[in-house]
Structure 1
Amino acid sequence: MFGVPLATRSSAGWVYPLTPLARLTRALRVALGWGLLALALLALILGVLWGVPAWAAASSPAYALAKARAGEDRELPPFLGSPVECERVPTHYRLGGDASSFRFWVQGPRGRALVNAQVEGERVTRFSLIRVRFGE
């Protein structure tokens, strides 16, 4: 069972059979080790599958344009105060060759706002305020 030995050897060279409880304990330790290895591997795979596209979206020129538009917007300072800062990685993003869309949080001294921006080419074509939360 899981490659667990059925006996152990003493320092004097005697062979003692393992009790069922000792065999179960060793088998559980081996299974736990493999389970933790599988979880670590799964976490690594999911980290790469989520992290690489998110990093690509956050470092794209289109997202930089959307963040710059949020900093220049006239609607946000009355709600959030000044200065406003955007989150590093957008909450939702869709990158395309000619058009990209982003949904991200903008935070100011008075609260947070969720905004939606669509970038086509070198300019922001749509910018809208979705939700405002005060006191966060």
Structure 2
Amino acid sequence: MITVAEILRAKPQAAVYSVTPTTSVLEAIKLMAEKGIGALVVLDKGRLAGIVSERDYARKVVLLERSAADITISEIMTADVLTVGPRDTSQHCMQLMTDRHLRHLPVLAEGELIGLLSIGDLVKTTIAEQASLIQQLEQYIRGE
């Protein structure tokens, strides 16, 4: 079973982008657009304080016709963040994301943020695991 640590090591782009609770929503959306990402972790004095996503922006700013320039991240972020650790399995993470309808999971080791998993990371991992299993089964069937 593949662990979160292994997934993080295999990621081509391991950078985790963040904002603070006092960052304007407009600044955060600009950063997401610039980096081509869908979520940012929210750090307060270096500690995980929340997560903010494009979904938060759409539901809590756009639909309510609020101004992104006048709102801070603390007003729209998800503060009760579900996290995983480096020893958790890809299967565990996929189950959490499916059950809780999440697209991103911050990864903490001893309370420190060490990475961010996306649903895409887990889908790629699952596909690779299945391809490997199929190859092993085919070799077994052929007697190799």
Bin of the TM-score, shorter chain as denominator length: under 0.3
The higher radius of gyration belongs to 1
Q: Judging by fraction of residues, say which structure has more strand.
A: 1
Q: Which has the higher contact order (CA 8 A, sep 6+)?
A: 2
Task: Calculate the TM-score normalised by the size of structure 2.
Answer: 0.22
